[in-house]
C-alpha cells in the first residue's frame, strides 16, 4: 500500500509542479507576400519586397523586405516597420494572454537582418532600434510607454555582409506612461539614418519577424498542496 501511495504522490507531484505555459504569436512575417506590417512615411525612405541578396546561413528565404534610402536628409531620421493586427490603428491586444506586471508574463521579439558590406549607404551614425510600445489603447500614440529601446550598430563591419538573427526579450509592464493599465503592445523595428547623411541605396534587409508573449505560472500553490499531501501520506504510513 505504501508503494502505491508513493507512486500516486510521484505522479501527482509531476502533474502539479509542471507549469502550463500559455503562449501566443502576435506578429509573424516571412515577407513572402505583402501585408502583416506597416511602415512609416518618412521622407527619403522606402520599403519593398525583394529577392534575398544572400540566401545562406541563418536565412535561406527567397524573398525579404528591403529598406531603401531614396534621398539624403539633413538630420537624424527614422524608418519604422511595425506589427499590425487586423482593424487596429497599431498594436496587439493582450486580453486573455496574461497579466501585465506579472514577472512571468514575457515577450520575445526576434528577426533576421542583413546589412550590405559594400556601398556607402550606411554610415557610422546609423543604428537599428528595437522598440516596444505598451499602451492603454489600441493606438500606440495614446499614453505610450516605451520599454527599453535597444540599439544595434549596423555600421560595424562585423555586423555586415551576412544574415544575423536578433532577439529582444523582457517582461510586459503593468502600467503605461500615464499610469494606466497596459492592454495593448506594439512591436517596432526602427532604422536610424544618423545625421541624415546616407546616400541613396539599400540600407538593410530584414526577414522572419516573430513576436510572441507567454505566461508560465509559478507553482507556489501547487507546492503547498504537494507538501500537505506528503505530510498526510507520512502520517498514514506511521
Q: For the chain, which ranges sit under pLDDT 70?
A: 1-20, 85-90, 141, 217-238
Q: What is the pLDDT of residue 225?
A: 43
What distance in Å separates the CA atoms of residue 147 and residue 195, rounded to the nearest whole number? 24
What distance in Å separates the CA atoms of residue 66 and residue 47, rounded to the nearest whole number? 5
Q: What is the pLDDT of residue 112?
A: 98
Q: What is the pLDDT of residue 139?
A: 76
Is the Cβ–Cβ distance between 112 and 75 less than 8 Å? no
- Annotation: CATH topology of 21-218: Jelly Rolls (2.60.120)
Please report, for residues 140, 177, 182, the alpha-carbon distance to residue 143 in angstroms, rounded to integers and kept in the order given. 7, 6, 10
* Short-list 102, 94, 115, 114, CA closest to 170: 102
* Short-list 215, 41, 26, 184, CA closest to 110: 26
Please report, for residues 113, 156, 164, the alpha-carbon distance to residue 57 in angstroms, rounded to integers and kept in the order given. 12, 19, 9
Please report, for residues 102, 103, 183, 214, the alpha-carbon distance to residue 144 in angstroms, rounded to integers and kept in the order given. 19, 20, 11, 21
Residue partners of 55: CB distance under 8 A and separation at least 6: 61, 62
Enter the DSSP assignment of 84: B
Q: What is the pLDDT of residue 15?
A: 45
Amino acid at each position: 500500500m505504501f508503494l502505491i501511495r508513493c507512486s500516486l504522490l510521484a505522479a501527482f507531484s509531476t502533474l502539479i509542479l509542471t507549469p502550463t505555459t500559455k503562449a501566443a504569436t502576435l506578429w509573424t512575417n516571412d515577407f513572402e507576400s505583402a501585408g502583416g506590417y506597416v511602415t512609416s512615411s518618412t521622407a527619403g525612405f522606402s520599403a519593398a519586397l525583394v529577392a534575398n541578396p544572400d540566401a545562406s546561413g541563418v536565412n535561406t528565404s527567397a524573398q525579404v523586405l528591403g529598406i531603401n534610402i531614396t534621398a539624403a536628409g539633413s538630420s537624424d531620421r527614422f524608418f519604422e516597420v511595425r506589427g499590425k493586427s487586423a482593424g487596429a490603428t497599431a498594436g496587439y491586444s493582450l486580453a486573455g494572454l496574461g497579466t501585465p506586471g506579472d514577472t512571468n508574463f514575457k515577450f520575445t521579439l526576434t528577426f533576421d537582418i542583413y546589412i550590405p558590406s559594400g556601398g556607402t549607404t550606411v554610415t557610422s551614425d546609423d543604428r537599428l532600434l528595437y522598440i516596444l510600445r505598451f499602451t492603454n489603447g489600441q493606438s500606440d500614440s495614446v499614453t505610450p510607454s516605451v520599454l527599453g529601446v535597444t540599439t544595434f550598430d549596423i555600421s560595424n563591419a562585423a555586423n555586415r555582409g551576412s544574415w544575423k538573427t536578433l532577439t529582444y526579450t523582457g517582461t510586459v509592464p503593468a502600467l503605461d506612461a500615464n499610469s494606466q493599465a497596459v492592454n495593448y503592445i506594439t512591436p517596432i523595428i526602427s532604422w536610424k539614418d544618423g545625421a541624415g547623411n546616407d546616400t541613396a541605396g539599400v540600407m538593410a534587409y530584414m526577414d522572419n519577424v516573430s513576436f510572441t508573449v507567454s505566461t508560465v505560472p509559478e507553482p507556489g500553490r501547487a507546492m503547498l498542496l504537494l507538501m500537505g499531501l506528503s505530510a498526510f501520506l507520512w502520517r498514514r504510513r506511521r
